[in-house]
Amino acid sequence: MTNDITPTRAAASTDRVAGPVQGLLLISMSCLSVLGAVLLAPAQPQILAEFAGTQSSNWLVPLVITTPALMVGLLALGAGRIVDAVGRMRLLTVALVVYAVFGTAPLYLHSLVSIVGSRVGVGIAEAAIMTCSTTLIADYFVGKQRARYLGLQVVFSSLSAVVFIGLGGALAQSSWRTPFWVYGVGLLFALLVPLVLWSPTKANRSDVSSLSPIDWRALAIPLAVTAFGGVVFYVPIVEIPYALSDVGMTGAGPIGAVSALVAVATAIGAISFMRIGKLGPKTLLPSAFGTAGLGITVIGLAGTPVVVAIGGVIASAGCGVLLPTLLTWVLGALKFEERGRGTGAWTACLFLGQFSSALVVLAISAAVGGLFAALVAVGVLSLALALMATRLASVRTAVPAFES
């Protein structure tokens, strides 16, 4: 049995031994999808003002933020088979270069439609990067170390959101285009990958043709709730800048600062899951949805930036617990040989929910008469789901992902 400190020699790797350097690099690359999601959030009002004369700009600007999530959602289910077909290292390196090229493209694009199109490329690259990174963690590590690194992905993602939102707000003060330079970090990772990582031995890869079938009917409710969880999770990220602007706060810097403060609550929630995760989905699912719903409702009722920030902190604290809770709910009862496909399905549902979040809020806004009324409606829906969550969570018996 491997202890938690000694580097691990995974069954699917070569004779090289993976350690903290490899684990940290893989987790860091997993955070690139977070960068794609939140870096531009503080600049949304500026982008909307820049393209105010563009038809349907109210719909297209949110797509700049959420389109990568759509692509990850659409591609996640099949990404594992692509990784096995072309190899982890080759696909990962190419995806990192593609991420940098398409990520920085808006620096010289002048059409809102073409900018949204460039975000499609970012999303395709993110799907490959996330799949390769998670697969390599499973290749390099076993037992408790594997569980630790997979769990740390959630924590690092939440913490990186704080950094990226603050960075995006600071850079956007000079121009809404400036944050797009950050996507060039993909090239740095592309240089590090062949120096730090290596390909697992082909002989030890799983035979996908012999995999046992998954009972997808049993997963239907957890995956459907995950999709709605993705909607809820993205509401504070995407809508708080608009809410702050509507109540009188101007400037990407202050909006970015509040967004970063709200993201800290997400990180705290995710870190707390490391301790409270043993309570299980039956306890955590209703509390997470309830806390998130309460916070979103507060935002919807706010009349000042301070109240928006308070609501955002409450909502994001709930969201920080929500994501790992949903993951353990879906994966807890799956066999080892089912977890890859289960993770792909969970990722697809989560990211499709995240992509649709802004569109759902816009649609509700059109129906109920404004952003704040729509936020109240989403908050109430989340609270309603919290009331049903204990019963829904009994559909599957889950164990914390950090135990193995």
Residue 250: pLDDT band by 50, 70, 90 thresholds? confident
Task: Decide if pLDDT at 205 tops 50.
Answer: no
Residue 324: pLDDT band by 50, 70, 90 thresholds? confident
Q: Report helix angle 252-276 to 281-301, nearest 10.
A: 160
Q: What is the pLDDT of residues 66-92, one digit of tens each?
A: 788 788 888 877 776 666 666 778 889
pLDDT of amino acid 15: 61
> Which residues are registered as beta bridge partners of 8?
18
Q: Which residue has the tokens 């719903």?
A: 293
Q: Which residues contact 6 (CB under 8 A, 6 or more apart)?
A: none
C-alpha–C-alpha distance, residues 218 and 353, integer Å:
20
Note the Cα 298 to chain centre separation in Å.
23
Going by the DSSP 8-state scheme, the letter that residue 165 receives in this structure is: H
Q: What is the pLDDT of residues 151-167, one digit of tens each?
A: 677 678 767 877 887 78
pLDDT of amino acid 339: 61
Task: Decide if pLDDT at 279 tops 80.
Answer: yes
C-alpha–C-alpha distance, residues 105 and 254, integer Å:
26
Q: Compute the average pLDDT of residues 226-234.
A: 92
Q: CA–CA distance from 167 to each of 181, 205, 234, 244 (Å)?
A: 11, 40, 19, 18
Question: Which of 2-16, 106-120, 127-141, 188-202 tops mean pLDDT?
Answer: 106-120
Note the Cα 197 to chain centre separation in Å.
24
pLDDT of amino acid 212: 64
Q: Is 216 left (phi over 0), alpha (psi -120 to 50) or beta?
A: alpha
pLDDT of amino acid 1: 38
pLDDT of amino acid 201: 62
Assess contact for 213 and 363: CB atoms under 8 A: no
Percent of the chain topping pLDDT 90? 29
Q: CA–CA distance from 357 to each of 63, 229, 352 (Å)?
A: 10, 10, 9
Is the dihedral angle over the CA atoms 286, 159, 126, 88 positive or is it negative?
Answer: negative
Q: Cα torsion at 206, 340, 73, 192 (round to 10°)?
A: -70
Percent of the chain topping pLDDT 70? 83
pLDDT of amino acid 216: 78
Buried (b) or exposed (e) across 295-319, using 16+ Cβ within 10 A?
A: bbbbbbebeebeebbbbbbbbbbbb
* Paired tokens of 307: 């109240």
C-alpha–C-alpha distance, residues 216 and 223, integer Å:
9
Residue 398: pLDDT band by 50, 70, 90 thresholds? very low
Task: Decide if pLDDT at 5 tops 50.
Answer: no
**Which of 330, 375, 380, 376 has the alpha carbon at shortest distance from 357?**
375
C-alpha–C-alpha distance, residues 352 and 75, integer Å:
10
pLDDT of amino acid 336: 54
Q: What is the pLDDT of residues 95-147, one digit of tens each?
A: 999 999 999 999 999 889 999 999 999 999 998 888 788 778 777 877 667 66
**Which of 354, 356, 330 has the alpha carbon at shortest distance from 342?**
330
pLDDT of amino acid 114: 92
335 C-beta neighbours (distance < 10 Å), count: 10
Q: Burial of 221 by CB count in 10 Å (0-12 exposed, 13-18 middle, 19+ buried)?
A: middle
Task: Decide if pLDDT at 12 tops 50.
Answer: no
Q: Where are the domains of the chain?
A: 20-201+216-393
Helix (H, G, I), strand (E, B) or coil at 18: strand
pLDDT of amino acid 210: 52
Q: What is the pLDDT of residues 328-373, one digit of tens each?
A: 787 666 665 566 567 677 878 888 888 888 889 989 999 998 899 9
C-alpha–C-alpha distance, residues 231 and 225, integer Å:
10
Write out the H or E segment, with its range, that includes residue 348.
Answer: helix 339-368
Q: What is the pTM of this model?
A: 0.73
pLDDT of amino acid 151: 63
Enumerate helices (H) and strands (E) in the chain, giving the number of each: 14, 0
Q: Is 369 left (phi over 0), alpha (psi -120 to 50) or beta?
A: left
* Paired tokens of 235: 């509401």
Buried (b) or exposed (e) across 120-140, using 16+ Cβ within 10 A?
A: ebbbbbbbbbbbbbbbbbbbb
Q: Which fold has domain 20-201+216-393?
A: Growth Hormone; Chain: A; (1.20.1250)
Calculate ∠ Cα 15-16-19, nearest 5°.
Answer: 140
pLDDT of amino acid 288: 94
* The one-letter amino acid at 392: L
Task: Decide if pLDDT at 150 tops 70.
Answer: no
Lowest mean pLDDT among 167-176, 242-251, 393-402: 393-402
Residue 174: pLDDT band by 50, 70, 90 thresholds? confident
More confident residue, 376 or 69: 376
User: pLDDT averaged over the chain?
Assistant: 81
Q: Which residues contact 369 (CB under 8 A, 6 or more apart)?
A: none
Note the Cα 342 to chain centre separation in Å.
16
